[in-house]
Amino acid sequence: MTIASGDRIPSVPIKLIGSGDTADTTSDAVLGQGRVVFFGVPGAFTPTCDTSHLPGFAANVAKFKALGVDRIVCGTVNDHHVTRAWAERSEALGKVEFVADGDGSLADAMGLSKQFAGMGKRFARFAMIIEDGIVKDLFVQDVAGVTVSGAPAVLMALQASQVSA
């Protein structure tokens, strides 16, 4: 079953890649406090993830912060070494935090795992807005490319929630 609006973020062991060291932690510790934008990609260094999905979030950090987002986190089903190398090479490290879900446990727990030909289990492409550990909005990409799960769509949802508040 796919995680939905109103659901609590599950607690699953993950590795958090930030500007400092890589830390063993849990998904609820990373995603459970404040307003968090969490987006998942099928893989580090993969073409769409690398050139279309991640850059939109990294380039718009100031806009997300202005809309009350405390942290932006990218999740990938890769080991923490690959995830760190991608974060550093993309120059997004320090703007975006990265979660390495090496065996796909978090992807499974959220119901957002998907089998990709030649790649095995990965995150489906998605983005979500989380407030104090509760999913407020979920945007799952059902077609190729980055539309509903990209930074512009998430920014529009955040703006709309401010207008209706």
Distance, CA of 138 to CA of 154 (rounded, Å): 9
Residue of 139, 158, 133 whose CA lies nearest to 30: 133
Place of tokens 């760190």: 84
> Would residue 28 be called left, alpha or beta, if left means φ above 0 and alpha means ψ between -120 and 50 degrees?
alpha
Task: Catalogue the active-site residues.
Answer: 49
Q: Which residues pair with 130 in a beta bridge?
A: 36, 135
- Across 66-154, where does the E strand assignment appear? 71-76, 97-100, 113-116, 120-123, 126-131, 134-140
Count of other CB atoms within 10 angstroms of residue 143: 8
Q: Which residues pair with 99 in a beta bridge?
A: 16, 75
DSSP, res 51: I
